C-alpha cells in the first residue's frame, strides 16, 4: 500500500507530520472516534488521493488548545482530490474523478439531509448531529491533511468537476469549495445580502474575505470588512472592500464615515469565539464582542449571518461561563431591533455546485482574494505557525506534489 503522510495535532501549539496506514473501508479506533463508530463499515465510500487540502481557521482553534480535541487527531477538513478506489456500494463515482469534498459529512438519507441541512446529518456522528473530517466531536472521521483520505457516502458527498484539465487550471480556486467559499457565501445569504445591500463583515481572515467576495457576487453595493490585522485589511481592499480598523475604536463610527450613517443592512460574523475587544480593549479577548457590535450596527429588521465558529467547550477561555460556551450576549437589543440570526455549519452542498460554476466561468477569483499560497505537506507546522501569527494568506497543502508552483 502507498504511504500516507498526515498532519496531526500533538497538543496546544504543536503540529507534526506523521505516517499512518493507508485508509480502508472501515472506521477504526483512533483519536476522537466515538466507540459507536469504531468498526463502522464504509462500503459506500471512496478513497481520495489528495490534490489540495487547506489549513482552516477552525483547525487553528484546535491547535491553539481552545477545544477538547484529543492528541493525535489527524487534522484537515478542506479536501480536493482524485478518486483512486471505490467501495462495493458506490454506483456513480468513478476512479479518476477529480472532486471537491464538502467538509460536512452527510448520509443523504436522514431527515436533515433530505431537507438540505447537510451540516447536521443525523447518521454520521453518534454523539450529536453533524460530522466533519479531522475535527473535534464530529464523529471521529480521519482528517484530510493527508496524502489519502476515506470519504463516506461518496455518491452523495462528492462534487465531480466536469472537465479535469479545466479544473486543474483553476485548482486553487476550486480548492476553496470544500469550506470557506460556501461558508462565506452562506454567511451572506443568511444575512440577507442582495443587490444594493450595504454589508459589514467582521473578520478579514480567509472566511471573512470569502464572505466579502460572496457579498459582491450577490450584488452588494458596499462591503466593509473590519479587523485588527492591517495586512489582512489591505488584502480586503485589494478587491474593492472598504475597511474598518477596530483597534481604532467601535466599528459604527468608522462605518458612519464610509456610509454617512452608522448602520448597515447586513452583518456577517466571520470571527467566532476568539474575538477581541475594540479600541483600547483590542488586546483583550472578549468572545461576545463581535455578536454584540453586529447587533448594534445592523439596521432594525436586518439579519446576522454567523459562520464564525462558536463551541460548547473552550478550555482556554478566560472565564468559567465562556469555558462552557456561555457568552454575555445583549439579546435584548437584537430582540428590540427584530434582528434575525443564523448560526451553525454551512450546508456546503447547498451552494458548492453553483459556486463551482461561477469559478469555472470566470465570475470570481476566490483564490486571489484570499491570497492562496501553496506549501508542501511537510511544511504544515510552519504554515500553522504563520497563520497563527496573522499571515494574510490561505495556506494550501500539496500532499502529493501535484500543485507544484501553481501557488
pLDDT tens for residues 374-394? Answer: 999 999 999 999 999 999 999
pLDDT of 407 reads 43
Query: Which domain does 95 fall in, by range?
Result: 4-179+347-398
Residue with cell 469534498: 101
For residues 235 and 143, membership in a common domain is answered with no
pLDDT of 389 reads 93
pLDDT of 71 reads 97
DSSP helix/strand/coil, 278: coil
Residue 216 has pLDDT above 50, yes or no: yes
Structural domain tally of the chain?
Answer: 2
Q: Which of 64-73, 105-114, 282-291, 342-351 shows the lowest per-residue confidence on average (mean pLDDT)?
A: 282-291
Q: In this structure, is residue 13 part of a structural domain?
A: yes
The rounded percent of the chain whose pLDDT value lies above 70 is 99
DSSP track, 13-64: T-EEEEEEPPP-SEEPS-TT--GGGTTEE-TT-EEEEEEEEE--HHHHHHHT
Confidence of residue 326 (pLDDT cuts 50, 70, 90): confident
> What average pLDDT does the structure give for the chain?
95
pTM of this structure: 0.96
For residues 171 and 187, membership in a common domain is answered with no
pLDDT of 298 reads 98
pLDDT of 285 reads 80
Q: Are 143 and 133 in contact (CB under 8 A)?
A: yes
pLDDT of 28 reads 96
DSSP helix/strand/coil, 333: helix
Residue 406 has pLDDT above 50, yes or no: no
Residue 280 has pLDDT above 80, yes or no: no
For residues 106 and 185, membership in a common domain is answered with no
β-bridge mates for residue 27, sequence order: 40
pLDDT of 78 reads 98
pLDDT of 276 reads 82
pLDDT of 187 reads 98
Confidence of residue 3 (pLDDT cuts 50, 70, 90): confident
Q: In this structure, is residue 208 part of a structural domain?
A: yes
For residues 265 and 164, membership in a common domain is answered with no
Rounded CA-CA distance 19/14 in Å is 16
CATH number at residue 132: 3.90.180.10
Average the pLDDT over 40-68 and give the result.
96
For residues 242 and 353, membership in a common domain is answered with no
Amino acid at each position: 500500500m502507498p504511504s500516507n503522510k498526515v498532519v496531526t495535532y500533538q497538543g496546544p501549539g504543536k503540529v507534526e507530520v506523521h505516517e499512518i496506514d493507508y485508509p480502508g473501508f472501515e472506521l477504526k479506533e483512533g483519536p476522537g472516534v466515538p466507540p459507536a463508530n469504531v468498526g463502522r463499515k464504509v462500503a459506500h465510500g471512496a478513497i481520495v488521493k489528495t490534490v489540495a487540502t487547506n489549513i482552516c481557521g477552525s483547525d487553528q482553534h484546535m491547535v491553539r488548545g481552545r477545544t477538547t480535541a484529543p492528541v493525535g487527531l489527524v487534522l484537515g477538513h478542506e479536501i480536493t482530490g482524485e478518486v483512486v478506489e471505490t467501495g462495493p456500494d458506490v454506483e456513480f463515482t468513478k476512479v479518476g474523478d477529480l472532486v471537491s469534498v464538502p467538509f460536512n459529512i452527510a448520509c443523504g438519507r436522514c431527515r436533515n439531509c433530505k431537507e438540505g441541512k447537510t451540516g447536521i446529518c443525523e447518521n454520521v456522528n453518534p454523539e450529536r448531529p453533524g460530522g466533519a473530517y479531522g475535527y473535534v466531536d464530529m464523529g471521529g472521521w480521519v482528517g484530510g491533511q493527508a496524502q489519502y483520505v476515506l470519504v463516506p457516502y461518496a455518491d452523495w458527498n462528492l462534487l465531480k468537476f466536469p472537465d479535469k484539465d479545466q479544473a486543474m487550471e483553476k485548482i486553487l480556486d476550486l480548492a476553496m469549495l470544500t469550506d470557506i467559499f460556501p461558508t462565506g457565501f452562506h454567511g451572506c445569504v443568511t444575512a440577507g445580502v442582495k443587490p444594493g445591500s450595504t454589508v459589514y463583515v467582521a473578520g478579514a481572515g480567509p472566511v471573512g474575505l470569502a464572505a466579502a467576495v460572496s457579498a459582491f457576487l450577490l450584488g452588494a453595493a458596499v462591503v466593509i470588512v473590519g479587523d485588527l490585522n492591517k495586512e489582512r485589511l489591505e488584502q480586503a481592499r485589494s478587491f474593492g472592500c472598504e475597511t474598518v480598523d477596530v483597534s481604532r475604536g467601535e466599528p459604527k463610527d468608522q462605518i458612519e464615515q464610509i456610509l454617512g450613517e452608522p448602520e448597515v443592512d447586513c452583518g456577517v460574523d466571520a470571527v467566532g469565539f476568539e474575538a477581541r475587544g475594540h479600541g483600547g480593549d483590542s488586546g483583550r479577548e472578549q468572545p461576545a464582542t463581535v455578536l454584540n457590535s453586529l447587533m448594534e450596527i445592523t439596521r432594525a429588521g436586518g439579519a446576522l449571518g454567523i459562520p464564525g465558529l462558536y463551541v460548547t467547550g473552550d478550555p482556554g477561555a478566560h472565564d468559567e461561563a465562556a469555558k462552557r460556551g456561555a457568552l454575555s450576549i445583549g439579546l435584548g437589543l437584537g430582540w428590540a431591533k427584530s434582528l434575525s440570526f443564523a448560526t451553525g455549519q454551512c450546508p456546503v452542498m447547498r451552494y458548492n455546485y453553483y459556486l463551482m460554476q461561477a469559478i469555472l466561468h470566470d465570475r470570481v477569483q476566490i483564490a486571489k482574494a484570499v491570497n492562496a499560497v501553496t506549501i508542501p505537506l511537510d511544511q504544515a507546522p510552519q504554515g500553522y505557525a504563520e497563520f497563527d501569527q496573522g499571515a494574510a494568506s490561505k495556506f494550501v497543502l500539496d500532499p502529493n506534489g501535484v500543485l507544484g508552483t501553481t501557488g
